[in-house]
Amino acid sequence: MKALIGRKIGMTSTISDNGVVTAVTLLSASPNIITQIKNTETDGYMAVQMGAEEYKKMGKAQAGHFKASKAQPKITREFRITEPEEDLSVGSQIAADVFSIGDTVHVTGTSKGKGWAGTIKRWNFHRGRKTHGGGSYRRPGSIGSMYPQKIFKGKKMAGQMGDEQVTVRNLKIALVDMEHNVIGVTGAVPGPRKGIVLVRGVK
């Protein structure tokens, strides 16, 4: 199973032997501990629950849940699987070396929140003209006709922008540093620095 919970460190670039510069996002990939393995018989679906980092003071409910893995993870996430993983067990660790350079991965994170935004910033609408008597500059304009006397769901209007789950697909692993527990992914990854990201390998 190729999956990890990490945090975004920042961006840098690498230069190949033929002079090609590639943007790379660095992710901290401290060893993850498997805290639970779910199956269809008891849970209704198959998934592997993993934990990362360490929680100093944990409640009794969480301590009882993680008792089998002998860990106190601060972050826990689930990764769905389609078939049982026989080589995995509760308490085992998955480190950065689960990935190799050149592997294709999907990276999921929470995008930066930008607050309540208008239609120009949120949906790239054009502004109104500022000459010849135009008095509507950044307003959205008409949002519906007389029929059917309502606004359909999904209409592009002003609203909360960002702060939502985003998955960037088919990125490549460009760096694996086991000494510092860091992996590098080509391209950009959603979220701010220190934001939690999920890295999943593509079969």
Q: Is the peptide bond before 73 cis (omega within 30 degrees of 0)?
A: no
Kindly state the helix (H) or strand (E) to which residue 117 belongs, with its residue range.
strand 116-117
Q: What is the mean pLDDT of residues 24-38?
A: 94
Q: Would you say 74 and 55 are in contact if contact means Cβ atoms under 8 Å apart?
A: yes
What is the pLDDT, as a whole number, of residue 189?
A: 95
Using alpha carbons, list the distances in angstroms from residue 82 to 1, 40, 45, 140.
Answer: 11, 10, 9, 45
What is the pLDDT, as a whole number, of residue 148?
A: 86
Strand 196-201 relative to strand 165-177, pairing: unpaired
What is the full DSSP assignment across 52-109? ES--SS--HHHHHHTTTTT---SEEEEEE-SS--TT--TT-EE-GGGS-TT-EEEEEE
Distance from C-alpha of 68 to C-alpha of 90, rounded to nearest angstrom? 7
Domain boundaries, the chain: 3-114+160-201
Query: What angle (nearest 5°) sits at the alpha carbon of residue 146, between those of residues 143 and 148?
Result: 90
Tens digit of pLDDT for each residue in 79-106? 999 888 778 889 899 999 999 999 999 9
What is the pLDDT, as a whole number, of residue 122?
A: 97
> How many C-beta atoms surround the C-beta of residue 157 within 10 A?
13
Tens digit of pLDDT for each residue in 38-48? 999 999 999 99
Query: What angle (nearest 5°) sits at the alpha carbon of residue 56, between those of residues 30 and 36?
Result: 60
Smallest CA-to-CA distance from 84 within 145, 181, 1, 178 is with 1
Q: What is the mean pLDDT of residues 108-130?
A: 96
To 10 degrees, the CA torsion angle through 81, 174, 50, 165? -80
Distance from C-alpha of 71 to C-alpha of 51, rounded to nearest angstrom? 8
Report the mean per-residue pLDDT for the chain.
92
User: If you compute the radius of gyration of the chain from its CA atoms, what whole number of angstroms results?
Assistant: 23
Smallest CA-to-CA distance from 28 within 50, 53, 51 is with 53
Topology given in CATH for the domain delimited by 3-114+160-201: Elongation Factor Tu (Ef-tu); domain 3 (2.40.30)
